Chains A and B, each alone.
Chain A
Amino acid sequence: MTTHSWTEVQALGIKAASGAGVPPAQALAFGAMLVRHLADGGAEGPLAAALETPQTIISLALRIERVVEAASLGVTPISVIEDNPGQRAMLISWLFALPCHADVRIQGNAIEASLMLTAPSQRSRPDRVPLGPTLETQLQTLAAKTYVPDSDASRNAGAGAGQMELD
């Protein structure tokens, strides 16, 4: 198990989700969830599984969107039922990863969330985030799918730094 900065893990999660085919906004939110989840000691298995099926990530993002929408209408708490423990854990991490204040209670397979959309989250962040080698490899592999292979043309013709003269 190696440790990383929060920013590294979050950025890797975003790129990996993008590499898995998740649209940009959902990938951004997934990266924020992933690092929150790992920092809070969450299991890596559900994250790895979600990255195998991008539709899972899109569906989780939609469910969170519905919670936020309900909160904006004054509904509190908002109840979310999820039987799959892995997905339930990710939903909880997703709520805690929101920039706004979130109170979350868990009762069996039900998550009860109260959001204060204009109040910032007060959850602390550690100085290091653990990341297991299997998940890291999976993240790196997916992230690499977002990079355009290097070529002489892209290096020299208008891309990158352009003309270079030194003094």
Chain B
Amino acid sequence: MPAVKDMVPDIAPLRPPEEVMRLSRFGAMMPTRLSFLRAVVRRLCAERSKITRTVWTMDALGHGTAVYSVDFGGHTYSLVALSHDLPEDQRSDRVIATAWDAVFVLYDGVPSSSEVARIARNAPLQEAGRFSPRDLVLSRANKSVRMWDATARALQAGTQPDAAMIRDIGYLMRTTAVYGNGKFGIADRYLIADRKGLGGPFAAEMLTVYLIRHFTLDLVQHVGQGRLDPQLARHLGIGNATGLGMAPFLVNHPVLLNNWMMARETALARVRQIETLSEDQQAHLKALAKRAAQHLSEWHVPASDHDEALRRLEREWTGFAHHFDALDAPRPMDALWAVAQNASVALQELLLSLILEPFGDLIDGLADCMGDPFGPLTSPFGGTQALRHAIETNWPWVFGIDYTDAEACRRFWYVSAAKLEPRLGDRYLDVGAELETPLDIGRRVKALYENLPTTDAPVSAFLEAHPGHALAISRVALTARYPYADIRDNLIASTCRPIDMLRCKLSFFGATKFDPKSDLWTRITLAQGAPLGDELMPENDDWWMPVLT
């Protein structure tokens, strides 16, 4: 796999990390055609994949077992889906839940009946089950009871569900966890990473999510004994509820984060470099701008502050739209981007997402560079003076934070003994700060800097006296080679909003319709607008910012 840095053409400079790697920008990120789900569906479409239902033992209420198989990249994968009767009082989206409406395993191959039986014994236990290397992904989902009941009832009555409700909710079920890469005994990612279609980050997980969406549509039509209008069905994606667990991931996988951001920034730089646009390309961009406006108008969330932010963006986008009338000028994308520098971060991120969309030929290859097959290949510093210089060069933001201020350190991240749920505590009120998860990278780097000797010395000699600084040293070394590896904000400040980190990661997954429920968790929609299971053809890979037309 080529490194992203080796694929960066001689183009306009990438946006600097100090501009990109900020929580305020993370909190505004949008999905792009490089997003992981999009990349998987694009490949499914390119291969004209067919999804086959090989097992279907469901009762009239939709409780039972289903297996779907799909050929993808030269391999066959199967989704084993187990649907249960879930008492209302047990339905929870939190990690600490112990029962779900449906549980799933993505299986490598076509499972025999004994393998289905094995999965049926373990998948309902989720984290407490044991899985084999043939099991690639483990997941579970809960119904949106409102959407589910309304859809099933409408179909039973021979009608269609209310389009407005579909627009507002957008899914029949939402996953509450999608586990991959070796968790609970399932296959390690490296066992499948060389396979076509599964090389990208979270590709197996995204294939699972797509198949779960297919299952939910099948199931509701089984229960409703009717057929959904394909246009409405297409607008039913798969929901997801995500909490704090995603936030530490970004800190604990710095090379991966770097590669995601590097690909995205490289894509932007390539598009900005386009000299001229054909009339078709101009028309495409204008159509996408209109679609974005409609998408925003259809995107409402219950939280008033988040909804107001959406309405501001909607108004700002309306005012910005006329700039799409000047696309016949030289270097039109760069000019458009330059104009947006006077706009809000939210508009910039929406525009970035939009202007990548028509240029797959130019940027889709970057999706192959977003993994981290090697781990960090860093070189040690020649001495403590070089280390000092690297901190001064790449970590200037830490000097602006007073870590002796209580508010700058109020939060601490930890792992609860309850199903290992990641949580966030108040250092001055809650117990457990001594067991803090080390996400306080900025604080550590500043402390390292303050402890460095005034005269040069081997870093190993410094480490012998100060072994606790090893993490900070490794992160400074990482940033020297991987500029987008670290978030340049204080993650333990009282003002830190984990939701911004969730937004970043979820946008890379391809999430839309972010629906924050607090600063700690959000609901989102995946695969809304994506082609249905019998529509996987290249011409149907056009579902950026889905709208219900």
Q: Taking beta carbons and an 8 Å cutoff, which residues of A are in contact with B?
A: 4-8, 23-26, 28, 58, 61-62, 65-66, 68-69, 72-73, 99-100, 117-121, 125, 127-128, 144-151, 153-155, 157-167
When A23-B467, A26-B467, A62-B463 are in contact, do A100 and B377 touch as well, CB less than 8 Å? yes
Q: In the bound complex, do residue A148 and residue B182 qualify as a contact, i.e. CB atoms below 8 Å apart?
A: no
Q: Taking beta carbons and an 8 Å cutoff, which residues of B are in contact with A?
A: 91-96, 133, 142, 144-147, 169, 181-191, 241, 243-244, 373-380, 382, 414-418, 420-421, 423-426, 430-432, 435, 438, 458-460, 463-464, 467-468, 470-471, 473-474, 517-521
Chain B, Cβ-Cβ closest to A9: B182
The interface centre, meaning the residue of A7, A28, A121, A167 with most chain B CB atoms within 10 A of its CB, is: A167
Minimal beta-carbon separation of A14 from chain B (angstroms): 10
Q: In the bound complex, do residue B470 and residue A26 qualify as a contact, i.e. CB atoms below 8 Å apart?
A: yes
Q: In the bound complex, do residue A162 and residue B521 qualify as a contact, i.e. CB atoms below 8 Å apart?
A: yes
Chain A neighbourhood of B187, CB < 8 A? 5, 127
Residue from B95, B133, B377, B435 within 8 A of A161 (CB atoms): B95
Q: In the bound complex, do residue A23 and residue B471 qualify as a contact, i.e. CB atoms below 8 Å apart?
A: yes
Q: In the bound complex, do residue B91 and residue A23 qualify as a contact, i.e. CB atoms below 8 Å apart?
A: no
Chain B neighbourhood of A144, CB < 8 A? 417
Chain A neighbourhood of B432, CB < 8 A? 148-149, 154
Minimal beta-carbon separation of A136 from chain B (angstroms): 13
Minimal beta-carbon separation of A161 from chain B (angstroms): 4
Q: In the bound complex, do residue B133 and residue A162 qualify as a contact, i.e. CB atoms below 8 Å apart?
A: no
Q: In the bound complex, do residue B243 and residue A161 qualify as a contact, i.e. CB atoms below 8 Å apart?
A: yes
Per DSSP, chain B at the interface is loop
When A120-B375, A147-B415 are in contact, do A161 and B460 touch as well, CB less than 8 Å? no
Minimal beta-carbon separation of B145 from chain A (angstroms): 6
Residue from B191, B241, B424 within 8 A of A159 (CB atoms): B424
Q: In the bound complex, do residue B520 and residue A161 qualify as a contact, i.e. CB atoms below 8 Å apart?
A: yes
A148 to B133, CA, bound (A): 31
Residue from A8, A58, A121, A145 within 8 A of B182 (CB atoms): A8
Chain B neighbourhood of A158, CB < 8 A? 424-426, 520
A157 to B432, CA, bound (A): 14
A165 to B379, CA, bound (A): 49
Chain B, Cβ-Cβ closest to A97: B375
A130 to B189, CA, bound (A): 18
Q: In the bound complex, do residue A6 and residue B182 qualify as a contact, i.e. CB atoms below 8 Å apart?
A: yes
Chain B, Cβ-Cβ closest to A11: B182
When A5-B187, A144-B417, A150-B417 are in contact, do A160 and B133 touch as well, CB less than 8 Å? no
A62 to B465, CA, bound (A): 10
Minimal beta-carbon separation of B248 from chain A (angstroms): 12
A23 to B464, CA, bound (A): 13
Chain B, Cβ-Cβ closest to A98: B375
Minimal beta-carbon separation of A119 from chain B (angstroms): 8
When A6-B182, A65-B380, A155-B96 are in contact, do A150 and B416 touch as well, CB less than 8 Å? yes
Q: In the bound complex, do residue B145 and residue A160 qualify as a contact, i.e. CB atoms below 8 Å apart?
A: no
Residue from A6, A8, A69 within 8 A of B459 (CB atoms): A69
Chain A neighbourhood of B471, CB < 8 A? 23-25, 28
Residue from A7, A28, A153 within 8 A of B181 (CB atoms): A7
A133 to B438, CA, bound (A): 29
Q: In the bound complex, do residue B183 and residue A160 qualify as a contact, i.e. CB atoms below 8 Å apart?
A: no
15 contacts between A and B (CB under 8 A): A5-B133, A5-B183, A8-B182, A65-B463, A72-B379, A147-B420, A148-B416, A150-B417, A155-B96, A155-B418, A159-B424, A160-B520, A161-B520, A162-B518, A166-B145
Residue from B184, B190, B431 within 8 A of A6 (CB atoms): B190
Q: In the bound complex, do residue B415 and residue A69 qualify as a contact, i.e. CB atoms below 8 Å apart?
A: no
Q: In the bound complex, do residue A160 and residue B94 qualify as a contact, i.e. CB atoms below 8 Å apart?
A: yes
A167 to B312, CA, bound (A): 27
Chain B, Cβ-Cβ closest to A100: B377
Chain A, Cβ-Cβ closest to B186: A5
A66 to B470, CA, bound (A): 13
When A72-B380, A167-B144 are in contact, do A8 and B185 touch as well, CB less than 8 Å? yes
When A62-B463, A147-B417, A150-B418 are in contact, do A166 and B380 touch as well, CB less than 8 Å? no
Q: In the bound complex, do residue B518 and residue A163 qualify as a contact, i.e. CB atoms below 8 Å apart?
A: yes
Q: In the bound complex, do residue B133 and residue A128 qualify as a contact, i.e. CB atoms below 8 Å apart?
A: yes
Chain A neighbourhood of B424, CB < 8 A? 158-159
Chain B neighbourhood of A117, CB < 8 A? 377-379
Q: In the bound complex, do residue B459 and residue A127 qualify as a contact, i.e. CB atoms below 8 Å apart?
A: no
